[in-house]
Amino acid sequence: MTNDRFHLYDTTLRDGAQKEGVSYTVDAKLEVAALLDRLGVGFIEGGWPGAVPKDTEFFRRARSELPLRHATLVAFGATRRPGGTADGDRQVRALLESEAQAVCLVAKADLRHVSDALRTTPEENLAMIEDTVRLLVGEGRRVFVDCEHFFDGYQNDPDYALRVVTRAWDAGAEVAVLCDTNGGMLPMRVHRVVSELRSRTAGRLGIHCQDDTGCAVANTLAAVDAGATHAQCTANGYGERTGNADLFTVVGNLVTKMGMDVLPQGCLAEMTPISRALAEIAGEPTDSAQPYVGSSAFAHKAGLHASAIKVRPELYNHLDPAAVGNTMRILVTELAGRASIELKGRELGLDLAGRTETVGRVVDRIKDMESRGWSFEAADASFELMLRDELGQGVPPFFRLESYRVVVEHRADGVVTSEATVRLHADGERIVATAEGSGPVNALDRALRDALKHLRPELAKVELTDYSVRILATGQGSDAVTRVLITTGDDRHEWTTVGVHDNLIEASWLALEDANRYGVLCGPQPAACAGS
């Protein structure tokens, strides 16, 4: 059910789709809308029917395929064209034909746009707004008016910008949405302008902020603080140019900092999984530093932070991550202290209480190794193996390497092939395995697992899923140290390991060795390992 005291309005499917690189299929739009409804937003702007064929189709399919529990679907469009009638305007009719119960109209609120972009008179622009709103309201639609360029227009000619707002209300619009279309505003100005309007008018005010100054979220909150009761946002801040106000940050702040219950009971904890699912659908990378829902939002690296968190987590968290469906993580790096190792151990299910000496040794080892180019921050599996080794709970060596060899062949026909041979000793046997691969590391990985598969059948399902290399700047060109991160997975989970060496293949081998040791650790008892 829509919260009528405050409208939480999502425009991911319209303004969000204006982000460079984002293009939703109709199926994807239906999925996005279903997720936003699960989150509990009050309004979902589905697109511009009549202008974009996919959006027309989305509204047609939504009638039968999108059961909504919380949200009202909104069709977006423009006021009628100058010199015509609303009823005779093909695009206005398409809004009605969409059968959406609510319509959001974009209307010009800056005289410069009226004269130069619309090429019409100030009075005709007001008539366009009035006619279109009246027609839609007369047809039983709830109508919102996005007053485009409102803040710039208000600076340029406050009386005219105000006339746009009041004309929309007088014609029956439920909300006049003040838009910072060029995104050039700062929170102080937004607050002042919305406060002025609030003191001079009584109708419902909304806010829509683009993020060109990096202040879209702050501007939205400033407007709400000054009296706006309708906020337009997009998931993960997707939108034209630099984007829009991020729905998740706005909601997190409104609920947990401003005490406003803008989501139905229990829905706040859906924010993190829904943000990530929406990124996946949009084909966009997740932003680890995104407030509230980013993977780093509650990740702690500094030893001093960890030492306080060990006593009371809230000392270094602005809220309980579980409240927004996120989790706290401890990162182990050269910035770690003993508390970091203890907390990380806890995360991995290893009790380090009373193991002061071991913990101190691990801290020293990490600091020493990181000074030589290792990095355990993203390689939890290598860290866990090291910690278990120190605790005497590691994976005992199950083979001894005699040698490996990798050959890369560039043939005259341009084909490049790789072949690796691994020789090792295990269970009193000498094992020799050779494999081809798309690249040298792939060949080495296959040869190693081929050699081990009889000894360790659990490794048969394991495969390398990601590989990244970083050349660490030493100022020595190709002699520089190479750090390799390898992500490996089986049908249940994934884990990341690290290797460092001057030689790229040896660095890869070290990471592969850890990957297989970790695979054995996890193998028959999934509870024993903490890979994600």
Ligand X SMILES: CC(=O)SCCNC(=O)CCNC(=O)[C@H](O)C(C)(C)COP(=O)(O)OP(=O)(O)OC[C@H]1O[C@@H](n2cnc3c(N)ncnc32)[C@H](O)[C@@H]1OP(=O)(O)O
Chain positions contacting ligand X, by CB under 6 A: 48, 51-52, 78-79, 81, 106-108, 117-118, 148, 181, 240
Binding site for ligand PYR (CB under 6 A): 15, 106, 146, 148, 179, 181, 208, 210
Helices (H), 66-121: 90-97, 111-116
Cβ distance to ligand X smaller for residue 107 or 224: 107
* Contact in structure between 143 and 134 (CB atoms under 8 Å): no
Reference 519, options 452, 459, 436; nearest CA is 459
Residue 117 binds what, of ligand PYR, ligand X, none (CB under 5 to 8 Å, by partner type)? ligand X
Residue 223 binds what, of ligand PYR, ligand X, none (CB under 5 to 8 Å, by partner type)? none
Reference 193, options 164, 218, 158, 230; nearest CA is 158
What is the rounded distance in angstroms from the CA atom of residue 130 to the CA atom of residue 86? 9
Q: How far is CA 184 from CA 151, 177, 211, in A?
A: 9, 17, 8
Least spacing, CB of residue 235 vs ligand X, in Å: 17
Residue 79 binds what, of ligand X, ligand PYR, none (CB under 5 to 8 Å, by partner type)? ligand X
Strand partners, 418: 408, 437
Least spacing, CB of residue 216 vs ligand PYR, in Å: 10
Least spacing, CB of residue 183 vs ligand PYR, in Å: 8
Cβ distance to ligand X smaller for residue 211 or 445: 211
Reference 444, options 497, 505, 371; nearest CA is 505
Cβ distance to ligand PYR smaller for residue 107 or 366: 107
Residue 108 binds what, of ligand PYR, ligand X, none (CB under 5 to 8 Å, by partner type)? ligand X
What is the rounded distance in angstroms from the CA atom of residue 415 to the CA atom of residue 424? 30
Least spacing, CB of residue 145 vs ligand PYR, in Å: 10
* Contact in structure between 106 and 77 (CB atoms under 8 Å): yes
Reference 378, options 284, 296, 473; nearest CA is 296
Least spacing, CB of residue 12 vs ligand PYR, in Å: 12
Cβ distance to ligand X smaller for residue 155 or 442: 155
Least spacing, CB of residue 69 vs ligand X, in Å: 28
Cβ distance to ligand PYR smaller for residue 98 or 482: 98
Which residue has 């100054």 as its token pair?
213
Structure tokens at 34: 């279903």
Least spacing, CB of residue 342 vs ligand X, in Å: 51
Q: How far is CA 407 from CA 89, 269, 404, 432, in A?
A: 70, 52, 10, 16
Least spacing, CB of residue 209 vs ligand X, in Å: 12
Reference 147, options 83, 235, 223; nearest CA is 223
What is the rounded distance in angstroms from the CA atom of residue 194 to the CA atom of residue 178? 8
Least spacing, CB of residue 239 vs ligand PYR, in Å: 8
Cβ distance to ligand PYR smaller for residue 81 or 367: 81
* Contact in structure between 7 and 175 (CB atoms under 8 Å): yes
* Contact in structure between 122 and 83 (CB atoms under 8 Å): no
What is the rounded distance in angstroms from the CA atom of residue 112 to the CA atom of residue 85? 23
Residue 210 binds what, of ligand X, ligand PYR, none (CB under 5 to 8 Å, by partner type)? ligand PYR
Cβ distance to ligand X smaller for residue 18 or 201: 18
What is the rounded distance in angstroms from the CA atom of residue 137 to the CA atom of residue 131? 10
Least spacing, CB of residue 339 vs ligand X, in Å: 49
Residue 208 binds what, of ligand PYR, ligand X, none (CB under 5 to 8 Å, by partner type)? ligand PYR
Structure tokens at 377: 């921050």
Structure tokens at 215: 């202040």
Cβ distance to ligand X smaller for residue 107 or 221: 107
Count Cβ atoms below 10 Å from residue 317 Cβ, excluding itself: 16
Cβ distance to ligand X smaller for residue 108 or 446: 108
Residue 367 binds what, of ligand PYR, ligand X, none (CB under 5 to 8 Å, by partner type)? none
Which residue has 């020595």 as its token pair?
476
Reference 447, options 424, 427, 422; nearest CA is 422
Least spacing, CB of residue 232 vs ligand PYR, in Å: 8
**What does DSSP assign to residue 117?**
T
Residue 78 binds what, of ligand X, ligand PYR, none (CB under 5 to 8 Å, by partner type)? ligand X
Cβ distance to ligand X smaller for residue 95 or 462: 95
Q: 386: exposed, middle or buried (C-beta count within 10 Å: 0-12, 13-18, 19+)?
A: buried
Cβ distance to ligand X smaller for residue 11 or 249: 11
